[in-house]
């Protein structure tokens, strides 16, 4: 009887460890996707079209062109630090304490059909960004906040 209880406990422990590993892998996969879609330290407004194509983020799963995408002009470590204490709660999200330059890429009006998605960009200076953090990793870009807002 004691042997069966110990086996059961070991199986339970293994299941907990396995599910934690799967969860963490999922978070890291979402973090990698976040980096691909939103982080580029040297991004400029004139690179929108090329970067959207190069990173293969211009076409949505439904087959349509992605209408907008925002790039944060910072490195991965700086943005990740928002989820590690350099940010503050903002509803369900986290708001950066520091300001970032961002580049917003918008789909050109006459280029709305894949594979011909074409983008123009606008550089915007000094915005606080709003992201979703999971287990210390940014996994979703939710928006930015203007100077007039905190």
> Domain limits of the chain?
2-145
Q: Going by C-beta distance under 8 Å and a sequence separation of 6 or more, which residues neighbour residue 102?
A: 70, 71, 72, 73, 123, 124, 127, 129, 144
**Which of 34, 35, 38, 79 is the catalytic position?**
38
**Rounded CA separation 73/92 (Å):** 24
The Cα angle at residue 91 between residues 141 and 100, in degrees rounded to 5? 40
Which CATH superfamily includes the segment(s) 2-145?
Ribonuclease A-like domain (3.10.130.10)
> Could you give the CA distance from residue 120 to residue 31 in angstroms, rounded to a whole number?
26
Return the structure tokens found at 138: 């940014």
Mark whether 140 is an active-site residue: yes
* Options 123, 140, 142, 145, the catalytic residue: 140
pLDDT per position as a tens digit, 42-76 = 999 999 999 999 999 999 999 999 999 999 999 99
Is 147 designated active site?
no
| Tokens read off for 93 | 């999200």
Q: Look over the chain and give the mean of its residue pLDDT values, rounded to a whole number.
A: 86
- Tell me: pLDDT of 15 over 50: no
């Amino acid at each position: 009887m004691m042997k069966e209880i110990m086996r059961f406990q070991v199986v339970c422990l293994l299941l907990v460890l396995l599910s934690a590993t799967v969860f963490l892998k999922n978070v890291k996969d979402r973090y990698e996707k976040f980096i691909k879609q939103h982080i580029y330290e040297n991004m400029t407004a004139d690179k929108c079209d090329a970067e959207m194509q190069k990173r293969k983020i211009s076409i949505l799963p439904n087959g349509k062109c992605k209408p907008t995408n925002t790039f944060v002009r910072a490195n991965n470590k700086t943005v990740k630090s928002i989820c590690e204490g350099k940010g503050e709660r903002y509803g369900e999200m986290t708001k950066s304490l520091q300001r970032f330059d961002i580049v917003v890429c918008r789909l050109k009006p006459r280029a709305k059909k894949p594979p011909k998605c074409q983008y123009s960009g606008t550089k915007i200076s000094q915005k606080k960004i709003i992201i979703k953090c999971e287990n210390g990793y940014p996994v979703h870009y939710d928006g930015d906040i203007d100077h007039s807002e905190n």
